[in-house]
Amino acid sequence: MKNLLITLSTVVATAALATTALAEKWDMPMAYSATNFHSEHGVIFADKVREYTAGAIDITVHPGGSLFGGGDIKRAIQTGQVPIGERFMSAHANEAPLLGWDNLPFIATTYEDNARLWAAAKDTVNAQLADLNLVALYTCPWPGQGFYFNKEVNSSADTQGIKFRSYNSATATFADALGMIPVQIEAAELSQALATGVASAFISSGSTGYDRKVWEHLSHYYKVNAWLPRNYVMVNTQVWDGLDGAVKDGIQKAADETAAACGAKSAELANFYFDELAKNGMTVKDAGSEFLAELEAIGAKMTSDWLNTAGAEGQAILDSYKAN
C-alpha cells in the first residue's frame, strides 16, 4: 500500500509539472504607465486568463513602453516577436483609415454613444484587423478628449505656433488647423517633452494629464469631449488560430469581462481626473463658445475627409450608428 501511495503521488506530481511545462508564457507590452487604468486592467485580464485557461496561458504585462515603445507594439505582434499587446486603435489609421473610426470629432461624445459607435464598427474593424494579421480580444474607451495648454486660450488666435504633441493623424490635423506645430510624442515620453519644451500643448483625456502630472508644466485644461478613443488588446492571428477551443474560450471570457470592467472604470474616473487636475492648480473648464465653434468646424471637415478615405465601409459604420 505504501508503495502504491508513493507511486500515485509521483504520478500526480509529474502531471502537475507537465502542466506547468506546457503553459505558454506570453509577454504583453502596453504603452501606458503601470498606474493607468488601462494597464491595471491588462493585469486583471492576465490574471483572468491564467484562471480561465487553468494556467495554460501565463501572461506577463509590461507597462509604460518598457518592452516595446507604443509605436512598435503592433508591429511586434504582427511579426510574432510577442503574441499579444495593447495599443490605441486610431494610431494605425495612417495604415488603415478605417481604424480611425473612434476619432471622429463630436460624433459620439458620451460613453453610451461611444458604445453604440463601437457596436456599429466592430465587425468591419475586426475584418480590417484580420488583414493586418491581428485579432482584437477587447477594447476599452478613454474618457473624452480635451485640450491642455500653458495659457488661456479663447480661439485659434491664441494657438498660433504652439508646439503640439500629437499621437495620431487626427490630433495632428487638429494641430495644423489651429495653426500649431504637431510633434509626434508617445505617452511615455510626454513628461520629458513638456519639461524640455519639445511640446507645450496636447489633446488627451484627464487621465493622461493626471498620470503625467502635467500641472508641473501646464496651466489650463479645456473640456471639449471631442471623442472617446479606444485602446485594444490584440493577439497575433497565427498564435490565436493555434490555440485549442477551450483555451480560446477561456481567453475570450477573460477579455469580455475585462472590457466591461475597464469601460466602467473609465467612466468612473472621468470626473475624478478633472478634480485632481484642479486640486493641483490647473484651471479646468469648458472651452469657450468661439473656440468650440472652431473645433466643431474642424471636426466636421475631419469626418468628411475620413469618409473619403474609409469609403463605403466608413459610411456604413456611421449610417448604422445613426440608425440605432
Same domain assignment for residues 125 and 165: no
Burial 180-205 (b: 16+ CB within 10 A, else e): bebbebbbbbbeebbeeeebbbbbbb
Residue 197 is part of which domain span?
146-227+279-323
Q: Is residue 302 part of a domain?
A: yes
Pairing, β 57-62 against β 24-29 = parallel
Task: Note the pLDDT of residue 108.
Answer: 97
pLDDT at 22: 67
| pLDDT at residue 187 in the model | 85
Q: Same structural domain for residues 113 and 36?
A: yes
Note whether residue 163 is domain-resident: yes
pLDDT for residue 20: 41
Could you tell me the CATH number of the domain that includes residue 133?
A: 3.40.190.170
Instruction: Judge if 222 and 261 occupy the same domain.
Output: no
pTM exceeding the 0.75 threshold for the entire prediction: yes
Please tell me the total count of domains within the chain.
Answer: 2
Same domain for 182 and 150, yes or no, is yes
267 and 240 co-located in one domain: yes
pLDDT tens, position by position, for the chain (324 residues)? 444 443 444 444 334 433 444 689 999 999 999 999 999 999 999 999 999 999 999 999 999 999 999 999 999 999 999 999 999 999 999 899 999 999 999 999 999 999 999 999 999 999 999 999 999 999 999 999 999 999 999 999 999 999 999 988 889 999 999 999 999 998 889 999 999 999 999 999 999 999 999 999 999 999 999 999 999 999 999 999 999 999 999 999 999 999 999 999 999 999 999 999 999 999 999 999 999 999 999 999 999 999 999 999 999 999 999 998
- Does 44 share its domain with 118? yes
H or E segment and range at residue 166: strand 163-166
Looking at the structure, tell me whether residues 198 and 242 fall in a common domain: no
Judgement on whether residues 189 and 158 belong to the same structural domain of the protein: yes
Do both 219 and 196 map to the same domain? Answer: yes
Same domain? For 63 and 75 the reply is: yes
Residues 213 and 238 reside in one and the same domain: no
